[in-house]
């Protein structure tokens, strides 16, 4: 009998693109997949079971082995530094991490406050720049922080740039390009090498072919 692989899927903005990619790679997913509120969804015809998780938690499920594989943004991988294999750049949900702030802000300040959903990424970035900062962890709506005086700058995802623009903020420095990655639990990779390699190769072909037509 074929092994059923458990895949951790990020709810939210990556979800639809990830589902599309899996279908295009030839994995039949139930039609109600997108509408369901279920957190565990079986796709027996695809030989897959999905767990739907908060994007930031996907590497945690995979590291602990309750999911064999997962789809996670590079932003989350950089922040979480989990012990998982990053096997393929899926080249979906492209965006980037950047430092932003108010135009004309006092950027010479000693130990400025930096608000971010990515405290580790932010600390690491400013340490590398040799700049001392105080990082304030927020869970969302990061752009609020400089507007109401909680922070001097933010470190956040920029996709279309609309959120920065509509809140009167400007991008100051780009930190890293971000796309979604296919990740694998190391022990699962050894146990289910054939199934996992098949999935990785199908996805790889799809991603490479898409690259060709762009």
Q: Does 5 bind ligand PRP (CB under 6 A)?
A: no
Name which position in 24, 161, 170, 179 contacts ligand PRP (CB under 6 A).
161
Strands (DSSP E) found in 27-140: 40-43, 48-53, 69-73, 85-89, 95-101, 113-116, 134-137
Q: How many binding residues for ligand PRP (CB under 6 A)?
A: 14
Question: Residue 19 or residue 56: which is nearer to ligand PRP going by CB?
Answer: 56
Question: Residue 162 or residue 190: which is nearer to ligand PRP going by CB?
Answer: 162
Q: Does 162 bind ligand PRP (CB under 6 A)?
A: yes
CB 67 within 8 A of CB 81: no
Query: What's the chain's Rg over C-alpha atoms?
Result: 19
Q: Does 158 bind ligand PRP (CB under 6 A)?
A: yes
Name which position in 156, 183, 192, 199 contacts ligand PRP (CB under 6 A).
156
With CB atoms as reference, the residue minimizing the distance to ligand PRP is: 140
Between CA 120 and CA 71 the distance in angstroms is: 20
**Nearest to 199, CA basis, from 11, 18, 10:** 18
Residue 64 tokens read as 């602990």
Please list every residue from 87 through 106 that binds ligand PRP, using CB under 6 A: none
Name which position in 3, 131, 159, 209 contacts ligand PRP (CB under 6 A).
159
CB 56 within 8 A of CB 79: yes
Between CA 158 and CA 97 the distance in angstroms is: 6
Q: Does 68 bind ligand PRP (CB under 6 A)?
A: no
Please list every residue from 109 through 148 that binds ligand PRP, using CB under 6 A: 117, 140-143
Binding positions for ligand PRP, rule: CB under 6 A: 13, 117, 140-143, 156-163
């Amino acid at each position: 009998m074929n092994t059923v692989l458990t895949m951790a899927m990020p709810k939210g903005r990556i979800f639809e693109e990830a589902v599309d990619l899996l279908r295009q790679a030839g994995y039949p997913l139930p039609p109600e997949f997108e509408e369901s509120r279920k957190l565990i969804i079986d796709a027996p015809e695809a030989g897959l079971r999905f767990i739907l998780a908060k994007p930031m938690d996907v590497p945690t499920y995979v590291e602990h082995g309750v999911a064999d594989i997962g789809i996670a943004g590079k932003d989350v991988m950089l922040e979480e530094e989990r012990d998982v294999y990053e096997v393929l750049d899926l080249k979906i949900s492209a965006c980037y991490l950047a430092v932003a702030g108010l135009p004309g802000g006092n950027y010479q300040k000693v130990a400025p406050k930096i608000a971010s959903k990515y405290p580790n990424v932010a600390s690491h970035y400013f340490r590398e720049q040799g700049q001392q900062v105080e990082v304030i962890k927020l869970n969302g709506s990061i752009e609020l922080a400089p507007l109401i005086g909680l922070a001097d700058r933010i470190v956040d995802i920029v996709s279309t740039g609309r959120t920065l623009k509509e809140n009167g903020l400007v991008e100051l420095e780009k930190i890293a390009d971000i796309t979604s990655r296919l990740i694998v639990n190391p022990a699962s990779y050894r146990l289910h090498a054939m199934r996992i390699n098949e999935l990785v190769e199908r996805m790889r072909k799809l991603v490479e072919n898409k690259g060709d037509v762009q």
